């Protein structure tokens, strides 16, 4: 459930050692997400982190606001480290993602010297460990996982993670597929079509534009069931699931699809988003694609992918992106490759388990 009060410790002084080891004159505090200059600076830091890690930047202010806005803070907390001039040089964010799983963003300025960068990194890790204990205790857990990511080629980040006790646990292929205008005809109608006894349709919406609750529940149930045995699956309530996905800057209700069998029984689901571009056409993105084991082998996944491709083409978009578990035994990457997806860059998951009590 979404708590009435944030489960994290909001005061950095209570979540950091008395002496966090920062250089003289440097200090840590909580950023003001309503301050325009702060959001701009955090965006600058995040983009620098992306350029160093994968060669190009894609983040925008909306990605930062997910972490620092009042809405985002229902399940998150943030810390920044400032130099003697008050300039933000490092940023950490923790996200109470689901029971037993806390996401951690760790960004340090690429333009400061090694000694200062190491000190900033150490402070962010110490703060994250303290927050893991706090959120784990609030959820009644004995152990809390910290889940963070890194670009596959980011040597500096890898070194810090190893030194902080994190273990590299998974590799992810970030894939993209170009979309041609003619592919708008790939399916009869992305809103609703049928193939071999499977109906593919958009989640129904009411007169006020909000989705049908039963359809949302069906999507959630399908994805929970489809990913039960997948790597690092963490049970998430319907409320947590919808709240989190609505935070995505690219969220749109008309990008949620269900696949149903002849008797109306849900068999698969796809949650898509918009990947906006400031320099060209937008793209679509597959945030979630799941098929229940009982319905596999009936072309459900292929049908859902063809649907989002056709939808993207009909909207004048030029690509569809998705993430694939490179270590998955299901062979999903073979399906994506056969349908035209290729790997654009590679990321990694790094985990550390923190004893709560």
DSSP state, 58? -
Which of 22, 206, 228, 41 has its CA nearest to residue 117?
22
pLDDT of the residue at 329 = 67
pLDDT of the residue at 260 = 97
pLDDT of the residue at 36 = 97
pLDDT of the residue at 229 = 67
**Backbone angles phi and psi of 37, in degrees to 5:** -65, -35
DSSP state, 203? P
pLDDT of the residue at 193 = 98
pLDDT in tens, the chain (357 residues): 667 778 999 999 999 999 999 999 999 999 999 999 999 999 999 999 999 999 999 999 999 999 999 877 889 999 999 999 999 999 999 999 888 999 999 999 999 999 999 999 999 999 999 999 999 999 999 999 999 999 999 999 999 999 999 999 999 999 999 999 999 999 999 999 999 999 999 999 988 888 999 999 999 999 999 887 666 666 788 988 898 898 888 999 999 999 999 888 999 999 999 998 878 899 999 999 999 988 888 999 999 999 999 999 999 999 999 999 998 766 777 899 999 999 999 999 999 999 997
> Rounded distance, CA 105 to CA 239, Å?
23
Residue 144 pairs with which residues in a beta bridge? 354
pLDDT of the residue at 106 = 98
Residue 322 pairs with which residues in a beta bridge? 175, 286
- Checking 61-69 for CB contacts under 8 A at 24+ apart, the result is 62/249, 63/249, 64/39, 65/33, 65/39, 65/249, 66/247, 66/248, 66/249, 67/33, 67/42, 67/93, 67/95, 67/105, 68/31, 68/33, 68/38, 68/39, 68/42, 68/93, 69/33, 69/34
Which of 341, 346, 278, 350 has its CA nearest to residue 54?
346
Whole-prediction pTM value? 0.91
Report whether 323 contacts 174 (CB < 8 A): yes
pLDDT of the residue at 357 = 78
Report whether 94 contacts 131 (CB < 8 A): yes
């Amino acid at each position: 459930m979404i708590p009435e009060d944030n489960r994290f410790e909001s005061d950095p002084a209570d979540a950091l050692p008395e002496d966090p080891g920062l250089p003289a004159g440097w200090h840590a505090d909580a950023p003001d997400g309503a301050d325009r200059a702060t959001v701009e600076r955090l965006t600058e830091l995040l983009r620098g982190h992306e350029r160093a890690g994968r060669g190009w930047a894609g983040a925008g202010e909306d990605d930062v606001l997910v972490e620092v806005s009042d809405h985002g803070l229902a399940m998150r907390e943030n810390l920044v480290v400032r130099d003697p001039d008050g300039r933000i040089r490092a940023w950490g964010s923790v996200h109470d993602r689901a029971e037993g799983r806390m996401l951690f963003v760790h960004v340090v300025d690429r333009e400061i010297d090694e000694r200062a960068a190491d000190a900033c990194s150490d402070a962010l890790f110490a703060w994250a460990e303290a927050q893991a204990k706090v959120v784990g205790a609030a959820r009644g857990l004995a152990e809390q996982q910290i889940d963070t990511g890194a670009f596959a080629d980011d040597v500096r980040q890898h070194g810090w993670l190893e030194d902080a006790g994190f273990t590299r646990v998974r590799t992810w292929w970030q894939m993209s597929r170009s979309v041609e205008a003619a592919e708008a005809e790939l399916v009869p109608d992305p809103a609703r079509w049928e193939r071999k006894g499977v109906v593919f349709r958009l989640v129904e919406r009411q007169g006020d534009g909000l989705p049908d609750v039963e359809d949302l529940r069906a999507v959630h149930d399908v994805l929970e069931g489809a990913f039960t045995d997948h790597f690092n699956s963490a049970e998430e309530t319907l409320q947590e699931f919808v709240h989190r996905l609505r935070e995505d800057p690219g969220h749109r209700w008309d990008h949620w699809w269900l696949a149903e069998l002849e008797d109306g029984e849900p068999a698969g689901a796809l949650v898509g988003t918009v990947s906006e571009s400031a320099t060209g056409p937008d793209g679509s993105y597959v945030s979630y694609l799941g098929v229940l084991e009982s319905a596999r082998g009936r072309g459900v996944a292929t049908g859902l992918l063809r649907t989002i491709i056709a939808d993207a083409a009909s909207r004048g978009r030029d690509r569809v992106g998705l993430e694939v578990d490179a270590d998955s035994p299901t062979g999903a990457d073979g399906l994506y490759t056969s349908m035209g997806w290729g790997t654009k860059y590679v990321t990694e998951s790094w985990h550390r388990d923190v004893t709560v009590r």
